[in-house]
Amino acid sequence: MEKSQGTVVNAQDAFCHAREMAVIQAASQGDKYAYHQLYEQHVGRVYALCYRLTGERAMAEDATQEVFIQLWRKLSNYNGQSKFSTWLHSVTANVTVSYIRKQRGWLKRMFQVDESLAEQPAELSADTVDLESYIVRLPERARMVFVLHAIEGYRHEDIAVMLGMATGSSKAQFHRAKQLLKEWMGYEDN
C-alpha cells in the first residue's frame, strides 16, 4: 500500500517537473504567456528573498522586477540539472545583491548609512515582532550576510565573492548580525 502511494507521489512529481520544464522551455524560446506563468508561480519566493536582502518594500519591488527582466535572458542557461526554484533562488540572490550595490553606492552605504543604522537602539519588542521584522532592521551588509548564510545556506567564501568582501569580513558581519538580533530579542550579551 505504502509502496503504491510512493509510486503515485513519484509520478505526480515527475508530471509536475515535466510540466514545469515545458513551461521553462517555451518561455526560453520567447513565449511571454509561458513566462508570465513562471512569474506567477515564483514571484512570491523571489520577492521574499528580495525583501529580506534589501530590507525595504519599494526597493524589493524594483529588485523583483529586475530579477524577472534579467531572468528572461538567462533562462536558456538553465540546464535542468538542479531544481528550477533552487536555480532561480541563486539568480535572485546574485541579481539583487548587484542591484543593491548599483542603486545605493557601495562606499556610501559602507561608511555612512550602514554604521549609523547599527547605532540605532532597537525600538521593537521581542514579544510583538517576528524575525523578519528584525532582519530588515539590520545594517545592510550584516543583513545581506545573515540572509545569505543563515537562511539561504551560502558559505562565507561564496558570500565574500558575491559581496566583494573578505571571507573574514563576511564572518564578522554574520557575528555582528547575530549580536544585534540577540540584543533586540532581549537576550543578555556575554
**Contacts with other proteins, residue ranges (CB under 8 A):** 32, 36, 39, 43-45, 47-48, 51, 57-58, 60-62, 64-66, 68-69, 72-73, 130-132, 150-151, 178, 181-182, 185, 187-188, 190
Nearer to other proteins, 49 or 97 (CB): 49
The string of DSSP codes covering 135-151 is HTTS-HHHHHHHIIIII
DSSP-derived 3-state class of residue 155: coil
Taking the complex as a whole, the smallest distance from the CB of residue 7 to other proteins amounts, in Å, to 27
Mark 62-91 as b/e (b = at least 16 C-beta within 10 Å). bbbebbbebbbeebeebeeeeebeebbbeb
Taking the complex as a whole, the smallest distance from the CB of residue 49 to other proteins amounts, in Å, to 9
Interaxial angle between packed helices 84-104 and 57-74, expressed in degrees from 0 to 180 and rounded to the nearest 10: 120
Taking the complex as a whole, the smallest distance from the CB of residue 57 to other proteins amounts, in Å, to 7
Nearer to other proteins, 6 or 41 (CB): 41
Taking the complex as a whole, the smallest distance from the CB of residue 15 to other proteins amounts, in Å, to 22
Listed in sequence order, the residues at least 6 apart from 60 whose beta carbon sits closer than 8 Å to its beta carbon are: 47, 50, 51, 53, 54
**Residue whose C-alpha cell reads 540605532 in the numeric block:** 120
Taking the complex as a whole, the smallest distance from the CB of residue 133 to other proteins amounts, in Å, to 11
Residue 30, classified by CB atoms within 10 Å of its CB into exposed (0-12), middle (13-18) or buried (19+), is exposed
Nearer to other proteins, 110 or 129 (CB): 129
Nearer to other proteins, 75 or 97 (CB): 75
Nearer to other proteins, 11 or 16 (CB): 16
